[in-house]
Amino acid sequence: MSGIIIGLFLVIAIFGVPLAFALGIAGFAGLVIADLPLRILAQRAMFSVNSFPLMAIPFFMLAGELMVSGGIIGRLIDFANILIGRVRGGLAQVTVGAGMGMASVSGAAIADATALTSVLYRPVAKQYNGPFAAAVIAASANLGPILPPSTAMIIYATLAPGVSVRSLFMAGVIPGLMIGVLMMLTIAIIAHRRGLPLTGDRLTLVRLVRGFWTALPVLLLPVIVIGGIVGGMFTATEGGAIAVVYSLVVGLFVTRTLKLADLPGCLLRSAITTAIIGVIIAFAATITYLFTIDLLPQRLADFALAFTDSRVIFLVFMMGALMIVGMFLEPNAAYVMLVPVLAPLASEFGVDPLHFAILFVLNMVVGLLTPPVGTLLFVVSAMTEVRIGELVRELLPFIGIQYGVMLACLFLPPLALWLPGMLS
Amino acid sequence: MTARPQALPAWLNVLSRRLRQANEWAVIAMMAVMVFVVSLEVVMRYVFASSLIFASELSRLLFVWVVFLGLALAAASGKEVAIRLLPDLLKAHFRSGLILALVTRSAGISLMLLLAVVNWEFVVANWHRPLNSMPGNAGLFHLPLTIGAVLTAFHLAVGAVEAMLSRAVESPAP
Amino acid sequence: ETLRLGSGFQAGHSSAKAVEEIFTPALGKIDGMDFKVQNFPGLQLGSAEEIIQQTRDGTIFGAYISSAYFNSYVAELGALNLPFAFPSREVAFEVLDGSVRDLLAEKLKAEGFRLLGVMELGFRHVTNSAKPVTTPDDLKGMSIRLQPNPIHMETFRTLGANAVALDASELFAALEQKVVDGQENPYAVIDLYKIYESQQYVTDTAHFFDVILFVASENVMAGFPQEVQDAIAAAARATTLRQREIAASEDGEHKRHLAELGMQITELTDAQRALFREAVAPVYQKMRTQIGEAYVDEFLAAIDRASGN
Ligand code: NA
Ligand code: NA
């Protein structure tokens, strides 16, 4: 049954039916095949978006809209440009840096992607080109769930007894930094090859100080939001709401470029983008439900056990299977369905639970960028109006890097396990 | 907020615009209240050492409304995310492009109408059940899906009529 | 015939274990029908509220979910949330298997649920990251995360704490980041969800005794022949009893484990517990006005009888 549903979804989607609707139609068909009531589609749709953490999406999106409309984001870009505009592809490097910064505040790739896109897409796309800008943003946003804090890791640890949230957080640090650095190197090579334009004037102390002063209110935003979350003032979702209030205050009273008349437009744009993402999550929920009822995870596990009892072969096979899962499933669905089945199975094969956990999470996180079902692809494509095909083409080197780091962690466990071992 | 081509009959044009405007203002207000409630909860915690018991439930309720009402707005402006490969290939052929657009729109319209109907059971079945932390009933969580689905179907249908009348497939969404 | 069961509890929880151990194998061929039980723990079928709805609709056969999620269907269940109501698990189950059961079963049936059994979720205890708590005064000004349940919130406000309603999905991050000073949960949850990583102190307050309702869809059950219904009820009864056994022994194990991990466990003396109980008296009054004086008093009288007072 699971296979038929996937096939049907792909066929419908290729005809140009919006993805949310294609998911919904495939879901309806699956319910008919499974002889289940059709109303489940409605039920799953509502309950899957009835979630507090998901509200980080509209909040960070709105904060970004306000920053753009308030002209305050221009100040940040100007400042970054002063700093590394004399490096080829400098603005793309700024994006990776911003992604790593965001990742250290937020736990979710989608929230990071919306924030980075609303803040950086227009300037980066203007300097280079749309698909490249969108790809760098999507790949940088993917650091969100790899560098701590990470919602995905919290979910994983609660599903797998024997894996602590803190150790898993620490296990993500080195792989996350590796991905960041490799992305910067790749961008430098691409910038050199394509001869991307220089975007800044020569750096002088006066320019630096003036730029810093102008950008200060904007630079304080991450300090307040990051500081507030790390310091325990508020949760990550609440941090999104605080970012909105801060951008509003700065835009209205500090830069004074934001007008009350701009607010409805900002609220509306962020609401519509939220809806497009929310509805995809809503209709994917029925498909996940059908996979669960169809016992897909258990059948995968049986399949694996029939093949081998070697630890390494098992791990390699698992990573291959999870790569495919990551292509088709929304990660939260995959965690909920697969962790309870596969984590004990991995232990049976003698795999360190923490090692398996980080590999699993990395795999699902890269899956956010891989077609046909890649939540980050949908989000960034919806916000930037860059087509998914073009986005994927520019993303290929970055997807390669992220899978590469995952494989490095597979064969060199200390990359992931050394830091948590040191700190425990 | 964009002007529609004049191919539509005037009454349909007015109805479509009015519905869309009402929807827009509803979504704007809900977003504003969401931000307000969640920020207020943080302020309450620190300034007044207190907590709004309804903050989570109210903001989640509004979020569900924003998602499904927002879907109708996305449909009205052709902003849904779709794989445009085949539609773009057929753009040169007006007739087959139009047929494909009509088929995909009909699929969307059927899905939305079916959803609106099956979801209505949940609205009715939960209308007597109180919410946890504030006045109101659990049916309010289910209601936006039916309303949003009907509005979405309406806008998709208007778009289809428009495409046929204007003898041009609507400009491709990204 | 496939009987699907949904739950929010993880596969390792006593409820899921008992279902796998007793309920799943107990139902095979009954009255010429072939039964197969499929258990989906760990929120695989959706949120707790959604699983309850699926059961009510007959989309799935049944569920075992914390009773708190049924409060909006059967208001009388709110009495189970009264603070310091049950002196011990033995008394609790004597009451819940006795006179109270019939009333609840009837109300649940009217809402589309067949009550199969009442399982133990456990006594809830307060943990925090600041200091040992021995009196209600120690809670003054401390921010405690609670489930967004009016009675729970009211109880802690009455005790002087800053009661913070946080969604369960935000709990672990909130504790890690010290958004709140403390929280309250059974030992099993404190242990399995690693709450001890961010909380050093736990007081054996036992302020709420939480139960799990094991229910089936009334529609689906009523559609089976009487013989099948009886067999299912018997299997469910055995499962419920087994679950209570596992839960009781695990409660002690989890408590010992937490002590080994270095959590400082404060045991309350009878006098200290009495202070807490007196402090929450206003909550009882409020409950009386909310769900009916007669019912609450009858409920409390049943507890007194069972306690042998
Ligand atoms: Na992060
Ligand atoms: Na993917």
- Cβ contacts (< 8 Å) between C150 and chain B: which residues? 53, 132-133
Q: Which segment of A154-158, A411-415, C42-46 scores lowest on mean pLDDT?
A: A154-158
Which chains neighbour B (Cβ–Cβ under 8 Å, 3 or more pairs)? A, C
* Tokens 């009959």 sit on residue: B9
Distance, CA of A285 to CA of A289 (rounded, Å):
6
Distance, CA of B22 to CA of B7 (rounded, Å):
23
- Predicted confidence (pLDDT) at residue A305 exceeds the cutoff of 80: no
Q: Is the peptide bond before A344 cis (omega within 30 degrees of 0)?
A: no
Angle in degrees, 0-180, between the axes of helices B55-76 and B10-47, rounded to the nearest 10: 150
* Cβ pair B84:A16 closer than 8 A: yes
Distance, CA of A78 to CA of A218 (rounded, Å):
11
Q: Where does chain C have alpha helices with state H?
A: 14-18, 24-26, 48-57, 89-97, 99-110, 150-158, 168-176, 187-192, 218-222, 226-260, 270-279, 281-291, 293-307
B162/chain C closest Cα distance in angstroms: 40
Q: Which residues of chain A from 379 to 398 reach within 8 Å of chain C, CB to CB?
A: none
Q: What is the DSSP letter of A1?
A: -
Residues B108-133 have a mean pLDDT of: 94
- From the list B32, B39, B85, which residue is nearest A14 (CB)? B85
* Cβ pair C173:A39 closer than 8 A: no
The SS3 of residue A387 is coil
B168/chain A closest Cα distance in angstroms: 17
Q: Which segment of A25-34, A102-111, A337-346, B25-34 scores lowest on mean pLDDT?
A: A102-111
**A212 token code pair:** 């810093």
Backbone angles phi, psi at B102, to 5 degrees: -65, -40
| Buried-state track B48-83, b at ≥16 Cβ within 10 A, e below 16 | eebbbbbbbbbbbbbbbbbbbbbbbbbbbebbbbbb
Distance of CA C66 to the CA centre of its chain: 5
- Cβ contacts (< 8 Å) between C51 and chain A: which residues? none
- Predicted confidence (pLDDT) at residue B136 exceeds the cutoff of 80: yes
Q: Which segment of A267-271, B156-160, C168-172, C264-268 scores lowest on mean pLDDT?
A: C168-172
The count of CB pairs under 8 A between chains B and C is: 40
Q: Which segment of A48-62, A390-404, C131-145, C178-192 scores lowest on mean pLDDT?
A: A48-62
Q: Tell me, in angstroms, the distance from the centre of ligand 2 to residue A277's CA.
A: 15
Contact by Cβ (8 Å): B161, B85: no
Q: Which segment of A29-38, A155-164, A389-398, C85-94 scores lowest on mean pLDDT?
A: A155-164
The SS3 of residue C63 is strand
- From the list A149, A164, A292, which residue is nearest C194 (CB)? A164
End-to-end CA distance of chain B: give it in Å, rounded: 18
- Predicted confidence (pLDDT) at residue B5 exceeds the cutoff of 60: no
What is chain C's mean pLDDT, rounded? 91
Contact by Cβ (8 Å): C186, C14: no
- Check residue C173 and give its pLDDT: 66
- Check residue B141 and give its pLDDT: 97
The count of CB pairs under 8 A between chains A and B is: 191
B44: nearest CA in chain C?
C164
Which range has the top average pLDDT, A65-69, A232-236, C49-53?
C49-53
**Which protein residues have their CB within 5 A of the ion that is ligand 1?**
A 103, 107, 144, 147, 150
- Cβ contacts (< 8 Å) between A19 and chain B: which residues? 80-83
Each residue's pLDDT tens digit, C153-166: 889 999 989 888 77
- Predicted confidence (pLDDT) at residue A116 exceeds the cutoff of 90: no
CA angle A27-A33-A35, nearest 5°? 100
Angle in degrees, 0-180, between the axes of helices A311-328 and A353-367, rounded to the nearest 10: 30
- Cβ contacts (< 8 Å) between C179 and chain A: which residues? 232-235
Q: Which segment of B49-58, B64-73, C46-55, C184-193 scores lowest on mean pLDDT?
A: B49-58
What is chain B's mean pLDDT, rounded? 85
Contact by Cβ (8 Å): B117, B38: no
> What long-range pairs does C47-50 form, CB within 8 A, spacing at least 24?
C47/A47, C47/A50, C47/C8, C48/C8, C49/A47, C50/A43, C50/A44, C50/A47
Distance, CA of C263 to CA of C269 (rounded, Å):
19
Which chains neighbour C (Cβ–Cβ under 8 Å, 3 or more pairs)? A, B
* Cβ pair C148:B133 closer than 8 A: yes
Contact by Cβ (8 Å): C6, C45: yes
Residues B34-58 have a mean pLDDT of: 84
Each residue's pLDDT tens digit, A355-388: 999 999 999 999 999 987 788 888 898 888 898 8
Report the largest interatomic distance among the alpha carbons of chain C, rounded to a whole angstrom.
Answer: 63
Q: What is the dihedral of CA A392, A396, A402, A403, to 10 degrees?
A: 100
DSSP per-residue string spanning C90-120: HHHHHHHHTHHHHHHHHHHHHTTEEEEEEEE
Residues A111-121 have a mean pLDDT of: 79
Amino acid at A50: N
Burial of A42 (0-12, 13-18, 19+ CB in 10 A): buried
Report the largest interatomic distance among the alpha carbons of chain B, rounded to a whole angstrom.
Answer: 66
Contact by Cβ (8 Å): C40, C8: no
With an 8 Å Cβ cutoff, is B68 touching chain A?
Answer: yes
- Predicted confidence (pLDDT) at residue B171 exceeds the cutoff of 70: no
What is chain A's mean pLDDT, rounded? 84
- Check residue B6 and give its pLDDT: 57
The residue extents of the domains of chain B are 10-170
Each residue's pLDDT tens digit, C206-246: 999 999 999 999 999 999 999 999 999 999 999 999 999 99
DSSP H/E element including C65:
strand C62-66
Tell me the pairing of strands C201-217 and C113-128: antiparallel
Q: Tell me, in angstroms, the distance from the centre of ligand 1 to residue A146's CA.
A: 6
Burial of B35 (0-12, 13-18, 19+ CB in 10 A): buried
Beta bridge partners of C125: C185
Q: Tell me, in angstroms, the distance from the centre of ligand 1 to residue A141's CA.
A: 9
- Residue of C253, C246, C249, C251 whose CA lies nearest to C15: C246
Backbone angles phi, psi at A203, to 5 degrees: -75, 125
Residues A86-98 have a mean pLDDT of: 82
Which range has the top average pLDDT, A252-266, A348-362, B110-124, B154-168?
B110-124
* Cβ pair C59:A293 closer than 8 A: no
- Residue of C22, C46, C71, C61 whose CA lies nearest to C220: C61
- Residue of A176, A170, A182, A178 whose CA lies nearest to A418: A170
Q: How many CB atoms lie within 10 A of CB A185?
A: 11
Contact by Cβ (8 Å): A232, C177: yes
Ligand nearest to the CA of A325: 2
Distance of CA A174 to the CA centre of its chain: 18
Q: How many CB atoms lie within 10 A of CB C227?
A: 12
Q: Which segment of A271-285, A295-309, C191-205, C222-236 scores lowest on mean pLDDT?
A: A295-309
Complex ipTM: 0.87
Residues A321-348 have a mean pLDDT of: 78
3-state helix, strand, coil in chain B (%, to 5): 70, 0, 25
**A47 token code pair:** 């309950």
With an 8 Å Cβ cutoff, is C162 touching chain B?
Answer: yes
Q: Mutation test of the interface with chain B: which of C57, C157, C164, choosing the one with the most B Cβ atoms within 10 A?
A: C164
Distance, CA of A186 to CA of A192 (rounded, Å):
10
- Residue of C184, C222, C228, C188 whose CA lies nearest to C206: C184
This prediction has a pTM of 0.83
Q: How many CB atoms lie within 10 A of CB A306?
A: 7
* Number of residues that this document lists for chain A: 424
Beta bridge partners of C66: C212
Residues A413-419 have a mean pLDDT of: 92
- Cβ contacts (< 8 Å) between A285 and chain C: which residues? 46
- Cβ contacts (< 8 Å) between B107 and chain A: which residues? 12, 17, 21, 25
Residue A139's contacts (CB-CB under 8 Å, 6 or more residues apart) are: A99, A183, A369, A395, A398, A399, A401, A402
- Predicted confidence (pLDDT) at residue C196 exceeds the cutoff of 80: yes
Amino acid at A124: V
Distance, CA of C141 to CA of C282 (rounded, Å):
19
- Predicted confidence (pLDDT) at residue A298 exceeds the cutoff of 80: no
* Cβ pair B53:C165 closer than 8 A: yes
- Check residue B24 and give its pLDDT: 97
Residue C237's contacts (CB-CB under 8 Å, 6 or more residues apart) are: C116, C117
| Buried-state track C151-172, b at ≥16 Cβ within 10 A, e below 16 | bbbbbbbbbbbbbbbbbebbbb
Each residue's pLDDT tens digit, A141-151: 999 889 877 77
The residue extents of the domains of chain A are 2-423
Task: Tell me the Ramachandran region of residue A107: left when phi exceeds 0, alpha when psi lies from -120 to 50, beta otherwise.
Answer: alpha
- Predicted confidence (pLDDT) at residue B152 exceeds the cutoff of 90: yes
Each residue's pLDDT tens digit, A209-231: 988 888 888 778 767 775 676 56
| Buried-state track A50-82, b at ≥16 Cβ within 10 A, e below 16 | bbbbbbbbbbbbbbbbbbbbbebbbbbbbbbbb
Q: What is the dihedral of CA A180, A182, A185, A187, to 10 degrees?
A: -70
Each residue's pLDDT tens digit, A176-193: 999 999 999 999 999 989
Burial of C309 (0-12, 13-18, 19+ CB in 10 A): exposed
- Predicted confidence (pLDDT) at residue B4 exceeds the cutoff of 50: no
Beta bridge partners of C34: C29
Backbone angles phi, psi at B54, to 5 degrees: -90, 0
